[in-house]
């Protein structure tokens, strides 16, 4: 209940009872009429008779006193017991919290469009800067690599052996399993399609050429791109976070010679060997699936490979292998050097590295497919 006593230009508003539910509309209108009364200059709000209150009431009372203050009217809160004093203290906390929230002006449509244009401009600038940095990194890498080849003493052979073992040999079981399954499934699906047209024997030539030209090299590239590119980025990123990179700079060591070149040489050397083994396993998978699925014996399969599949199909995959390796190493190491000094950046850049490496592998594969097709190789 809300009562009021007007004495000339002063009004005393007495709040009584419980204010733990919605305030009555009539009480709100009465208090608003007192606020709109031009003859009243001073307000006294008595809180002593409030027995119970909730947060909704506090907000209502805060807004009412704020309107009085904004209208330059004098007001006073009477609080002579513990409950009333608690209300006054809570009102002060609301005022402090409310004043600490920054007021953000609503943007108009022109400001919003301008900000979007600016953000697009910054995004384009960032991409251009990244491209320039990548070209610089590639140029320095080629220079350092050629310099190392003319001065073999600078090559870190132990590091190359380490990366061959960890980046290649340890990945071979996964490559063998995937190559066997993918090669066998493609052979089975191809033979199933050709058998309906009465050309079951043509499946040998088709699957063998497809395996040697595309499946073998591409399976190796995808696995290594997902495995090694992420590993290179994470390793270099952690080296930056632990300040190993800064220590190497202070010692005036060539970062590319110590970090990138061993990984580059290791993958370039071992990638054709991995593709060769992947081809063997994929061909074996084709033979197994065709043997048990369509009755084509291992002997007949090998005879047809000798007769219809030339060595150019084999060399097509081997020639592409070093380019796959180069793309994976360059992208993985370049993005690793762009990791910032926090753990979140390591995760983000590692994901970016895998995506970019896979895209680079697919792009290289498409380019070589077009080139070899035009050359009829």
CATH number, domain containing residue 94:
3.30.750.24
Q: Number of helices and strands (H, E) in the chain?
A: 15, 6
What pLDDT was estimated at residue 101? 47
Phi, then psi, of 144 in degrees rounded to 5: -65, -40
- The structure tokens listed for 376 are 């009829």
- Kindly state whether residues 64 and 205 are assigned to the same domain: no
Q: How many CA atoms lie within 13 A of 368 on its CB side?
A: 21
Tokens of 87: 């209300």
353 and 254 together in one domain: yes
Edge-to-edge strand ranges of the sheet holding 74-78: 2-7, 10-15, 42-46, 74-78
Residue for token pair 């209940």: 1
CB atoms < 10 A from the CB of 173, how many?
A: 9
- CB contact at 8 A, 347 and 242: no
Regarding whether 325 and 241 lie in a shared domain, the answer is yes
Could you tell me if 47 and 86 are in contact, meaning their C-beta atoms sit under 8 angstroms apart? no
Residue 307 lies in a domain: yes
Mean pLDDT, residues 76-84 taken together: 73
Residue 107 lies in a domain: no
CA angle 135, 342, 258 (to 5 degrees): 50
* Residue 187 shares a structural domain with residue 67: no
The count of other CB atoms within 10 Å of the CB of residue 143 is 11
Bridging pattern class, strands 2-7 and 10-15: antiparallel
Instruction: Please check whether residue 147 lies inside any domain of the structure.
Output: no
For residue 93, what are its two tokens? 């906390």
Residues 96 and 163 in one domain: no
Confirm whether 143 is domain-assigned. no
On the question of pLDDT at 172 being above 60, the answer is yes
Could you identify the residue written with the tokens 């590639």? 138
For the chain, give the mean pLDDT: 78
Question: Does residue 118 have a pLDDT over 60?
Answer: no
In a domain, 329, yes or no: yes
Residues 205, 76, single domain; the answer is no
Using the 3D structure, point to which of 60, 84, 100 is the last residue of a domain. 100
CB 275, CB 176: distance < 8 Å = no
pTM of the model: 0.63
Cα–Cα distances (Å) from 348 to 28, 314, 360, in that order, read 55, 38, 18
| pLDDT over 90 percentage in the chain | 0
pLDDT tens for 182-238 read 888 888 887 787 777 766 767 777 778 888 888 888 888 888 888 888 888 888 888
* 224 and 306 together in one domain: yes
* Torsion, Cα of 305, 311, 312, 313 (10° steps): 40
Confidence check: pLDDT of 85 > 70? yes
- Tell me if 128 is assigned to some domain: no
**CB within 8 Å of 294: residues ≥ 6 apart:** 191, 195, 200, 203
Mean pLDDT over 247-256 rounds to 80
Cα gap 99→95, rounded to integer Å: 6
What's the confidence (pLDDT) of residue 115?
55
Domain boundary among 80, 100, 120: 100
Is 76 in the same domain as 160?
Answer: no
Examine the domain organization and report whether 301 and 192 are in the same domain: yes
Token look-up 């007192």 returns: 34
Distance CA 15, CA 2 (A): 5
Maximum alpha-carbon separation in the chain:
117
Residues 301 and 207 placed together within one structural domain of the fold: yes
Whether residue 89 contacts residue 61, with contact meaning beta carbons closer than 8 Å, is answered with: no
Query: What is the percentage of the chain residues whose pLDDT exceeds 70?
Result: 83
Number of domains in the chain: 2
Would residue 46 count as lying in a domain?
yes
Final residue of a domain: which of 100, 124, 139? 100
Q: Do the Cβ atoms of 234 and 132 come closer than 8 Å?
A: no
Q: Is the pLDDT of residue 125 over 50?
A: yes
Residue 128: both structure tokens together: 């251009």
Q: What is d(CA 258, CA 237) in angstroms, rounded to the nearest whole number?
A: 15
Tell me, yes or no, whether 122 lies in a domain.
no
Nearest 5°: the CA angle 165, 170, 175 is 125
* 172 and 94 inside one domain: no
Average pLDDT (336-362) is 84
Q: Which domain holds residue 44?
A: 2-100
- Which residues, other chains included, contact 232 with Cβ-Cβ below 8 Å and sequence gap of 6+? 263, 329, 332, 333, 336, 353
Residue 52 is predicted with a pLDDT of 72
Read off the pLDDT of residues 132-160 as tens digits, 9 standing for 90 and up: 888 888 888 888 888 888 887 878 888 88
Residues 248 and 354 in one domain: yes
Of 40-49, 147-156, 281-290, give the lowest mean pLDDT range: 40-49
CA distance 16 to 3: 8
């Amino acid at each position: 209940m809300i009562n009021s006593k007007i004495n000339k230009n002063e009004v005393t508003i007495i709040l009584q009872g419980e204010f733990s539910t919605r305030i009555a509309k009539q009480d709100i209108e009465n208090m608003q009429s007192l606020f709109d009364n031009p003859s009243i200059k001073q307000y006294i709000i008595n809180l002593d008779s409030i027995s119970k209150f909730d947060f909704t009431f506090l907000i209502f009372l805060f807004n009412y006193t704020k309107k009085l203050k904004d209208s330059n009217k004098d007001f006073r809160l009477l609080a002579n017991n513990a409950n009333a004093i608690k209300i006054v203290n809570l009102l002060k906390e609301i005022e402090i919290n409310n004043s600490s929230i920054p007021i953000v002006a609503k943007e108009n449509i022109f400001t919003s469009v301008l900000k979007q244009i600016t953000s697009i401009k910054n995004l384009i600038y960032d991409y251009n800067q990244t491209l320039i940095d990548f070209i610089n990194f590639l140029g320095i890498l080629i220079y350092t690599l050629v310099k190392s080849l003319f001065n073999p003493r600078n090559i870190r052979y132990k590091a190359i052996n380490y990366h061959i073992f960890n980046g290649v040999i340890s990945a071979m079981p996964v490559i063998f399993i995937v190559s066997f399954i993918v090669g066998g499934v493609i052979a089975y699906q191809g033979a199933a399609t050709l058998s309906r047209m009465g050309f079951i024997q043509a499946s040998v030539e088709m699957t063998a050429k497809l395996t040697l030209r595309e499946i073998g090299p591409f399976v190796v590239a995808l696995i290594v791109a997902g495995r090694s590119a992420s590993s290179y980025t994470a390793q270099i990123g952690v080296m930056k976070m632990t300040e190993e990179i800064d220590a190497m700079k202070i010692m005036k060591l060539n970062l590319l010679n110590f970090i990138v070149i061993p990984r580059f040489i290791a993958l370039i050397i071992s990638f054709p060997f991995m593709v060769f083994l992947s081809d063997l396993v994929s061909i074996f998978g084709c033979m197994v699936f065709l043997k048990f699925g369509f009755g084509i014996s291992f002997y007949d399969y090998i005879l047809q490979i000798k007769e219809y599949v030339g060595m150019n199909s084999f060399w097509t995959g081997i020639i592409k292998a070093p380019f796959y390796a180069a793309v994976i190493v360059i992208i993985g190491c370049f993005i690793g050097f762009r990791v910032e000094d926090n753990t979140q950046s390591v995760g983000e850049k590692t994901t970016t590295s895998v995506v970019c490496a896979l895209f680079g592998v697919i792009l290289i594969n498409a380019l070589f497919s077009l080139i070899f097709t035009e050359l009829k190789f």
